[in-house]
A = this chain, B = another copy of it.
Amino acid sequence: LKLGEFELIDRLLKPLARGFPGALELEDDAALVPCAAGQEIVVAKDAIVAGVHYLPDDPADLVAGKLLRVNLSDLAAMGAEPVGYLTAFAVPRDLDQGYLAELVQGLARDQAAFGLHLLGGDTVTTSGPLVLTLTILGRVEAGTALRRSGARPGDLVMVSGTLGDAALGLRVLRGLAATEDETWFVVDRYRTPRPRLALGTRLRGMATAAIDVSDGLLADLGHILDASGVGAEIEAARLPLSTEALGLPRAVEAALSGGDDYELLFTLPPAELERCLVRAAEANVPVTVIGSITAEKGLVVRDASGAPMPTETLGWQHF
């Protein structure tokens, strides 16, 4: 990239800051985010690398959109509302200008969809693959953020939407045979997560623990169990599977250990179930009870006959 091309990126990025006065049109050293008494700022950061976290022929606008959506999902898991985001791109010198423009188009579309703005950005060159990092800022009423650590024995384990679709989408992109409808649905689920923001904010004061399913149900439930010092029993037959996933091989395994679904996994006192179902309907997101929290540590998954499944072989590793 030559200097002129950095100016191009600047020109592309600046419109994304319009509408948020504290972004200062990206002209200053930093952005200003208003604080209200009784609120907390919620902040998270993620990085993705070409060839590691996305496929070379994933459309650039969807890659950038997914990075934003994955960070929005972190806010959803805390019950927070989005405020804005910052980007840092390390760009190969020979990267096509059109690719960068598509990345920015993806951010533009998705920031409009979720009502937030760009607050700052940095673009540098690298001799390696494209590295995209994004920092998201949200806000939440002080003391009400959902955490991983509050699950108690007897709580229901619940999940939004359907599980396993994204992992199956990745397998289809890698060659797994599927119908046209199945392909469209599961690939879209892999490429375009739906951060459950409307559900997350409604779970505050109700869910005892929450996380988003990024590493896979078992891994992410494991994080809640570790943080809360409890165990859980899950019934595989209760896992919410899409019609499309059910048409594909090893859908239950994908639902248990596949990553990238970005559904909310949360725990709830049984007395709150009715209220939770009402609030989830308001948010237009289906939720399903898939098990319960136990005092005894460890995670047991039971098959339809009630027999424990061998979960060790179902773990999913990023690397």
Seen from chain A, the residues whose Cβ lies within 8 Å of a Cβ on chain B are 1-3, 6, 22, 24, 27-49, 51-53, 74-75, 77-78, 80, 86-90, 92, 119-129, 131, 133, 135-140, 142, 145, 147-149, 211-212, 223, 227, 317-319
Which of chain B's residues has its CB closest to A143's CB? B32
User: Are A138 and B30 neighbours in the complex by a CB distance under 8 Å?
Assistant: yes
User: This chain: how many copies in the complex?
Assistant: 2
Show 23 residue pairs from A and B whose CB-CB distance is below 8 angstroms, ordered by the A residue: A2-B319, A6-B318, A6-B319, A27-B227, A29-B78, A29-B148, A30-B42, A30-B136, A31-B43, A32-B42, A32-B78, A34-B41, A34-B142, A35-B39, A36-B37, A45-B88, A45-B120, A47-B124, A49-B125, A92-B128, A126-B128, A127-B128, A128-B128
Taking the nearest CB of chain B, how far is it from the CB of A78, in angstroms? Answer: 5
Extra contacts, 14 of them, besides A45-B120, A45-B135 (Cβ < 8 A), are A27-B149, A29-B77, A29-B212, A30-B42, A31-B42, A32-B41, A33-B41, A37-B37, A41-B137, A43-B120, A45-B88, A88-B88, A125-B319, A135-B135
A48 to B123, CA, bound (A): 9
What chain B residues lie within 8 Å of A318 (beta carbons)?
3, 6
- The chain B residue sitting closest to A124, CB to CB, is B47
Assembly CA distance A236 to B2 (angstroms): 31
Q: How far is the CA of A78 from the CA of B89 in the complex (A)?
A: 24
Within the assembled complex, what's the spacing in Å between the Cα atoms of A230 and B302?
72
